[in-house]
Amino acid sequence: MPLALIISSHVAGSRVGASAQASALVQFRIDSMIVPTVLYGRHPGWGIPGGAPVPIELVESMLDGIEANGLFGQTDMVITGYFASAAQVRAAARTIDAVRAAPRDNAPQGGVVRKPTVIVDPTLGDAGKGLYVPAEVAEAVAAELIPRADVVACNAWELQHLTGTDAREPQAAVRAARLLNKPTLVSSVHRGSEIGVVYADRKEAWLAAHAKAER
């Protein structure tokens, strides 16, 4: 079974962050190792979340334990999400490098060794709210994780923040995504009365949209 390493939030009472990612992956028979960056009771959008950020020493110790068990060499996918500190971001960047450098023997006989895929979800903020992480976290994600990503998965506001370019509508989102120079999936893209997701790489782009829900 393929194996993913998820470095992101754990929120007990809301289906977001690492638990949501792991639930989606298991449907495709992908197992997950979760290293939490925060331990919250609920999504902060509902109010005071309860819980607290995970100290960097604990994050690094968990990653060290995973590596010591030889699991970096078995990791097929690294997914990063929400971070509470720039130190956590730097630890994730070092982990990506270590996973990529780890010896692995996952090729079928006579085949090619599969390289791990790195998916960066730059969980930084949203339209109408702006940044909901410290500025130094946003800066670290842009400097340390986006360059290491094989795929970027963000919302339109986050793409605008990363590129300094409008990304609210489909064509603008495609242009902004291509500034990252890697495959990018952009959510919360508006087209008239619809909202959807844009995918763009150097060769192709597409939009999946539906009518906006009534509030």
For 21-51, write each residue's pLDDT tens digit: 999 999 999 999 999 999 999 988 788 999 9
Stretch 160-178: mean pLDDT: 96
> Of 99-108, 164-173, 195-204, which range is least confident?
99-108
pLDDT at 113: 66
Asked if 177 and 155 count as a contact pair (C-beta separation under 8 A), the reply is: no
Strand 130-131 and strand 125-126: the pairing is antiparallel
Query: CA geometry: angle at 85 spanning 180 and 177, to 5°?
Result: 10
| More confident site: 45 or 81 | 81
pLDDT at 94: 99
Extract the tokens encoding 24: 């989606």
Query: Is the confidence at residue 74, as pLDDT, over 80?
Result: yes
Q: What is the pTM of this model?
A: 0.93
Stretch 158-176: mean pLDDT: 96
The rounded mean pLDDT for the chain is: 94
